[in-house]
Chain A
Amino acid sequence: MEKIYDVVIIGGGPAGLAAGLYSARAKMSTLILEKEKTGGQIASTEEVANYPGSIQHATGPSLVARMVEQCNEFGAKIEKDTIKEVKLEDKIKVLVGEKNTYHARAIIAAPGASPRLLGVPGEKEFTGKGVSYCATCDADFFTDLEVFVLGGGDSAVEEAMFLTRFARKVTIVHRRDTLKAAKSIQEKAFKNPKIDFMWNSTITEIKGEGIAEAVTFKNLETGEITEYKASEEDGTFGIFVFVGYIPQTEIFKGLLDMDEIGYFKTDDNMKTNVPGVFAAGDCRVKSLRQVVTAVSDGAIAAVQAEKYIENNFHE
C-alpha cells in the first residue's frame, strides 16, 4: 500500500512553505511538492523589504532558506516533482506527478503564478537573448547597456531600480500615464537619475539576428511608432517584462471553481468547492499578492486541513 500523507501541498513558495510548517507542526504527515525551485517567485527577488521582520539580509533566497529550514525542523518533507493530474473524487486524493504518484487525506494547492508574457512578435524568440522576466538572473549581462522595463506595478518599478545598478540607463515603458506601484516605490524611481519613463506606450516587435538588436514601440495615444536600435558598440540591449502574472492552475481546470482568469475561488478559510482541498497564495482570488498574504493563507489552509482530517478521518 502506498503511503497516505495527511497533507500534500502543491507548491514550495511562501504559501506552500507556511502551510507545510503549520501542518507538520500540528503533527500531520506533510509533503511539499515543488516543480522547480523552492521559494517560488521570491526565490528570484533581490530584496524583500516589506515582509515584517525581514530587515537584515532580506533577500528572497535568504528568506526562502529560513522558511525551508523551519519546515524541515518540524518534519515536513520537501520533494521535487511536477504534478500532472489530480484526482479529487474519492476520500483519499491522488496526485499524479512526473516521478511518483502521491496519496493524501487533504490537499493544499499553492501553485502560485507565473509571469505574463507580452505576446508580441520576437518575444519568445529572444527570451534569454535580450528578453527577460528575471532581473536577478540576467541583470549583469546588461552592464553599461540600455534596458527597457515593461510594466508599471511594484515588480516593474522595483526591478527597474535594481537594474540601474548595472545598466547605463533604464526606461520604464508603461501602457498608462501613471504608475500603479506603491507611492513609496514610485518616489524612489522618480528620484533615480538613471530611470526614464515612456508613458502610454508598449512594445510591438523585437528583432535581431540571434540576439535582440532592435525594438519598436507604439504610443497608444497617438499611434506613433518609434524604433530603438542597439548601437554597433553596444550590440544589444535588455527588455525586462513585468506585466502581471497568470495563475498556474491548469491541472485543476474543471475540478475547482475559478474566476475567468483562472484564480481559485475560496472562502475566508481557504476552502475550495471540493471538501479537503484548500488553496493558498497567489493562485487565489485576492486583493494583495505578497509574501505576507501568502504565508497567512498557508497557515489558515493548514489549520483548516487539520480540522477537516480530524472530522473526516478520526472518529
Chain B
Amino acid sequence: MLEVDKDTFEAEVLQAEGLVLVDFWSDGCEPCKALLPDIEALSEEYGGQIKFVKLNTTQARRLAIKEKVLGLPTIAMYKGGAKIEEVTKEEAKKANVEAMIKKHL
C-alpha cells in the first residue's frame, strides 16, 4: 500500500485516474491498526484494479477535515478526484469494505 501525506494526496488521489481507495488512520487509533491487515489483504486481491493508499491524519488534519473525514477508521473510495463512497467507524470492517469495492468495480 502506498503511503501518502498532505503534500502527495492531491497527485496520488485527487489527480489519479481510475479508482483509489484511501485508508485514513492515525497513530492513536487502535481500531485503525486492527483493521490495517484486512485492508492490506484486500489490496493484495484488488490491487490490480484499484490503487490502495493510506493517509496518516495526525500530520494531515486539515486535509482530512477538507475531505470531510472527522472520525477513524475511515475507508473511502475516490474516482476522478471525488469521493464516491466511504465506510467509517463501526461500519469499517473487512466485509463492508469489500462490498464497497465490489460495488464500484
With A36-B34, A127-B88 given, is the CB distance from A138 to B68 under 8 Å?
Answer: no
- On chain B, which size bracket covers the interface? 20 to 34
A sample of 9 inter-chain contacts (CB < 8 A) reads: A39-B30, A129-B71, A132-B70, A132-B71, A137-B30, A137-B31, A139-B28, A140-B57, A140-B61
A-to-B contact residues, CB < 8 Å: 36-39, 43-44, 46, 60-61, 98, 127-134, 136-141, 143, 210-212, 235-236, 238
Partner of A236, one of B26, B33, B65: B65
Partner of A43, one of B30, B58, B93: B30
B34 to A138, Cβ gap below 8 A? no
Partner of B61, one of A98, A143, A238: A143
B70 to A211, Cβ gap below 8 A? yes
Given contacts A128-B74, A137-B72, A141-B71, 5 further A-B contacts (CB under 8 A): A36-B34, A44-B30, A130-B71, A133-B89, A235-B65
Cβ of A163 to closest chain B Cβ, rounded Å: 12
In the bound assembly, the distance between CA atoms of A151 and B34 in angstroms comes to 27
A44 to B88, Cβ gap below 8 A? no
Partner of B28, one of A128, A130, A136: A136
- Nearest neighbor of B33 in chain A, beta-carbon distance: A37
A136 to B29, Cβ gap below 8 A? yes
B68 to A211, Cβ gap below 8 A? yes
Contacts of A134 in B (CB 8 A): 29, 31
